[in-house]
Amino acid sequence: MKENIITIEHVTKRYPVGEGEFTALNDVNIQFRKGEFAGIVGPSGSGKTTLLNIIGSLDSPTEGKAVVMGKNISELNHKDSALLRNLHLGFIFQVYNLLPVYTVFENVEFALLLQNKTVTERKKAVMESLEWVGLGKMANKKPSKLSGGEGQRVAIARAMVKRPEIVLADEPTANLDSANAHAILKTMKTLNKELNTTFLFSTHDEKVMGYLERMVHLEDGKVKQDEIIEAKKTE
Amino acid sequence: MKLAFQLAYRNLIGAGLRTWLNVGVLAFTYLLIIFYNGMIDGWNQEARRDGIAWEYGYGQLLNQKFDPYDPFTLQDGHGILPIEKTENLVPVLIQQATLYPQGRMISVLVKGIEPNQVVVKIPTKLLNESGAKIPAIIGKRMAASANLKEGDEVLLRWRDKNGTFDAGNITIAGIFDSQVPTIDNGQIWVSIKKLWTMTELSQEATLFIANKDYVYKQRSGWFFKSQDDLLKNLNDIISMKKVSGSFMYLLLLAIAMLAIFDTQVLSIFRRQREIGTYVSLGMTRLQVVQLFTVEGSMYSLFATFVGSIVGIPLFIYIAKTGIGLPSMEGTGVPIADKIYPVYGLGLIIGTLALVVISATIVSFLPARKISKMNPVDALKGKIQ
C-alpha cells in the first residue's frame, strides 16, 4: 500500500463575491497516493483549479485541512509554502507560463537556481530534463520561437527538473492540438512510471481522461465520484 | 540577494530595447549632471585663479576710509603706511579721472601701481620700458571701449589733492589681456610714482596687495581682507549658479527616475503572470520584491557602465580643449572665453551614488505591491 502524500479533509473554500460569497469547494474529502496519475475532472466552475491551487499551497482552504507532503497548508507561512513548492511541487499551466525573456535552458534552470544548485548540477539536470521531453537541441531558443507543443514540453521539463514528488497540471492540453496533446500526455505518463512522480491534473479534456488511472469528479465544489480506472486502461 | 542580481541581470538583458531605452535616459542624465557641475567647478576654479593672479594676490590691506563699493570714498580713502611696514605689499593708489578719447568723455579710475611688482599679473613692467611722459597700460576691454591701441596718446584730466583740475596726455604703453573685468573696464594703470606726482599724494596708497609672504599685523587706519573675503562675491555668484543648477539636475534626475518608476509600475501589472510563475516555482514574496527592486537599480548600474564608455573619453577631451563661451562683457563676472571643466572624484562618485540610490528607491516603491499580491490572481493576470 503506497503512502498518502495529499490528504484533503472537509475542505471548503469560499470567495467573497459582491456582498455575498461563492462556494468553490464544499466539504471535499480526498487522498492521493504517491505515484498516482490522477485527474480532477469536471465542468468549468466545478472547483478543479481551486482544489489544485490549495494542494499547490498557492491558496488555502476557508475550512478544513489540506495536508501535502505532511504539511498542513493552512499553517504554512509564506516562506514555508514557497519552500514546499520549490522542493516538492512542480506546476504545469494551461498557458505554459514560460518566462519570455529567458531561453528554454534558463526557464528550466530557474527552479534549480532557487535551490542554490551549482552550475554543473544545474546544467546536468536541465539537459537531462530537456532530453526527457525531447527538446535537448532547443536549449538556447527563446519561448517565442517555440510551437505550442514545444512550449508545454518546456513547462513539463521545468516542472520535472527538480524531481518533485508531485506535479500539478492545470488544463495542460487546453491550448494544444490533438497530436501534441497525446505526445505531452505520453511524456508525462512515462515520467510518472520512470520517476514515480505523482501527477495530478485538473481537466475536462477527454484526451487527458484517456490517460488517467484515477478520476475524481467534481461538481459544484463537491466530489461526485472517485473512479479508479487503471484496470480499464490496462485492457 | 545574489539570486536577485543574477535574475535581474538576465531579465534586463532579455528585455532588450526597453532596458536600453531606460539605460540611455539614465546615462544621459548622469553625463549631463556631471558635465554641468564640471563646467561650474571649472569656471569656479578658473575665476578664483584669475582673480587671485590678476587682482587680489594673497589678500589686500585697505585704507579704513576706502570702500571698494562706494565711489564717494575714493576722494579721501587713502593714506600713508610707513615704508618699513610695507614689506611684501604692493601699493596701489586709486583716483578718479576723465579720459577724452577722440573727443568723447569717459569717467575712469586711474590706478597707480609699483611697476616692478610681481604679485599680480598686470604687465606693469611696460610702464618702465616706455619713454613717454605719462605711460599707461590698459586692458583689452578698456582699449575696445575707448577705441585705443598701443602707442596712442589721449588726454586725461584729474584732480590733485587740493581738488584742482590738471590734465595731460597719457601714452598707451601696453594693452593686456585678462579675464578679470574689474581690473580692466574703465581703468588706467600708471606708475604709482607718476600718480603721486600728478596728484601730489606722495607716498599715499588706497590699498596694498599682499604677496604670499605677507603676514598680517594690525595697522591703525588700515584693514585687511583675505583672499576668501575678496573672493566672497565670486563665491556667492557661483553658489547661486550652483543652486539654480541643482534645480536643473534635480529636474533631469526626476525625469530619469520617472522613466524607471514608470517601467517598474508597468512591470508589476504587465508581468503579473511572471510574478505568479516565480511564486509557483518557489520564490518567496521577499525574493520577488528584491528581484524587482534590483532590476530597477540595475538600470542605474548599466547606465554607469554605458555613461562611462561615452563619458570618460568625452570629458577628457572637453577638459583638455575647453568649451568656448559667448562673451559676458559688461556682466562684471570674470569668465574666460573658454571654460575648462573640472571633474572631481567627489562630483562623479556623488552623482553616481545619487542616481543609484534614487533608482533603487523608485524601484522599491512599486515592487512593494508584489508582497500584497495573491499568487492565484497573479497567475491569472487578474490584478488591477
Say if the Cβ atoms of B280 and A85 lie within 8 Å.
Answer: yes
φ, ψ at B302 (rounded to 5°): -60, -40
- One domain, residues B261 and B373: yes
Q: Which three cell numbers stand for residue A194?
A: 520512470
Q: Which three cell numbers stand for residue A58?
A: 498557492
Give the contacts of B262 (CB within 8 A, at least 6 positions apart): none
Please tell me the total count of domains within chain B.
Answer: 2
Model pTM?
0.72
Last residue of a domain, one of B172, B190, B225: B225
Check residue B111 and give its pLDDT: 96
Check residue B331 and give its pLDDT: 56
What is the band of B383 on the pLDDT scale with cuts at 50, 70, 90? low
C-alpha pair distances (Å), B161 with each of B61, B164, B274: 22, 7, 90
C-alpha pair distances (Å), A102 with each of A142, B12, B15, B17, B209: 6, 10, 9, 15, 71
Q: Which three cell numbers stand for residue B32?
A: 549631463
Q: Within an 8 Å CB–CB cutoff, is residue A93 touching chain B?
A: yes
The dihedral over CA atoms of A135, A138, A139, A140, expressed in degrees to the nearest 10, equals -170
Restricting to A residues 115-144, those with a Cβ less than 8 Å away from any Cβ of B are: 115
Residues of chain A positioned with their CB less than 8 A from the CB of B374: 59
Cα A194 from Cα B189, distance rounded (Å): 103
Q: What is the pLDDT of residues A157-172, one digit of tens each?
A: 999 899 999 999 998 8
- Please say whether the beta carbons of B70 and B350 come within 8 A: no
- Alpha carbon of residue B161 to chain centroid: 41
Q: What is the mean pLDDT of residues A168-194?
A: 88
Nearest to A42, CA basis, from A230, A232, A233, A225: A225
φ, ψ at B158 (rounded to 5°): -140, 175
Q: Which three cell numbers stand for residue B305?
A: 557602465
The length of chain A in residues reads 235
Q: Which three cell numbers stand for residue B100?
A: 577724452
Q: What is the pLDDT of residues B324-379, one digit of tens each?
A: 776 655 555 556 677 888 888 888 888 888 888 888 888 888 888 877 788 888 88
- One domain, residues B220 and B273: no
Cα B260 from Cα B362, distance rounded (Å): 7
Check residue B210 and give its pLDDT: 93
Q: What is the pLDDT of residues B195-247, one digit of tens each?
A: 999 999 999 999 999 999 988 888 889 999 998 899 888 888 878 877 877 78
Question: Given B281, B286, B379, which is nearest A114 (Cβ)?
Answer: B281
What does the domain layout of chain A look like in residue ranges?
33-61+77-234
Check residue B368 and give its pLDDT: 82
- One domain, residues B73 and B205: yes
Q: Within an 8 Å CB–CB cutoff, is residue A82 touching chain B?
A: yes
Cα A41 from Cα B166, distance rounded (Å): 118
Cα A194 from Cα A131, distance rounded (Å): 14
ipTM of the complex: 0.90
The number of C-alpha atoms within 13 Å of A96 and in the hemisphere containing its C-beta is 22
The number of C-alpha atoms within 13 Å of A169 and in the hemisphere containing its C-beta is 35
- One domain, residues B275 and B338: yes
Q: At what angle do helices A119-132 and A178-195 cross, to 10 degrees?
A: 130
Check residue B362 and give its pLDDT: 84
Q: What is the pLDDT of residues A100-147, one digit of tens each?
A: 889 999 999 998 999 989 999 999 999 999 998 888 899 999 999 998
- One domain, residues B129 and B249: no
Q: What is the CA radius of gyration of chain B?
A: 32
Last residue of a domain, one of B195, B225, B255: B225
- One domain, residues B67 and B101: yes
Structural domain of B221: 60-225
The answer to whether domain A33-61+77-234 has CATH 3.40.50.300 is yes
In this structure, the strands spanning B60-63 and A222-228 are: unpaired
Q: Choose between B249 and A63: higher pLDDT.
A: A63
- One domain, residues B108 and B166: yes
Check residue B144 and give its pLDDT: 92
pLDDT above 50: residue B132: yes
- One domain, residues B168 and B189: yes
Say if the Cβ atoms of A78 and B375 lie within 8 Å.
Answer: no
What is the number of other CB atoms lying within 10 angstroms of the CB of residue B226? 14
Across chain B, mean pLDDT equals: 87
Burial call B360-374: b when 16+ CB within 10 Å, e when fewer = bebbbebbebbeebe
Last residue of a domain, one of B208, B225, B242: B225
Identify the closest residue of chain B to A111 by CA–CA distance.
B281
Say if the Cβ atoms of B376 and A85 lie within 8 Å.
Answer: no
Cα A211 from Cα A205, distance rounded (Å): 11
What is the share, in percent, of chain B residues with pLDDT greater than 90? 40
- One domain, residues B178 and B256: no
What is the band of A86 on the pLDDT scale with cuts at 50, 70, 90? very high
Least confident residue range of A78-87, B150-159, B258-267: B258-267
Say if the Cβ atoms of B379 and A93 lie within 8 Å.
Answer: yes
Least confident residue range of B13-22, B120-129, B186-195, B331-340: B331-340
Q: Within an 8 Å CB–CB cutoff, is residue A228 touching chain B?
A: no
Q: What is the pLDDT of residues B281-298, one digit of tens each?
A: 999 989 999 998 998 889
φ, ψ at B67 (rounded to 5°): -120, 115
Cα A158 from Cα B280, distance rounded (Å): 12
- Please say whether the beta carbons of B174 and B116 come within 8 A: no
- One domain, residues B100 and B219: yes
Check residue A233 and give its pLDDT: 47
- One domain, residues B220 and B77: yes
What is the band of A234 on the pLDDT scale with cuts at 50, 70, 90? very low
Say if the Cβ atoms of A58 and B376 lie within 8 Å.
Answer: yes
What is the number of other CB atoms lying within 10 angstroms of the CB of residue B200? 12
Under DSSP, the state recorded for B70 is -
Q: Within an 8 Å CB–CB cutoff, is residue A79 touching chain B?
A: yes
Residues of chain B positioned with their CB less than 8 A from the CB of A97: 273-274, 276-277, 280, 379
Check residue A232 and give its pLDDT: 47
Nearest to B370, CA basis, from B259, B296, B302, B301: B296
- One domain, residues B101 and B42: no
Check residue B123 and give its pLDDT: 95
Q: Choose between A199 and B239: higher pLDDT.
A: A199
Burial call A21-49: b when 16+ CB within 10 Å, e when fewer = eebbbbebebebeebbbbbbbbeeebbbb
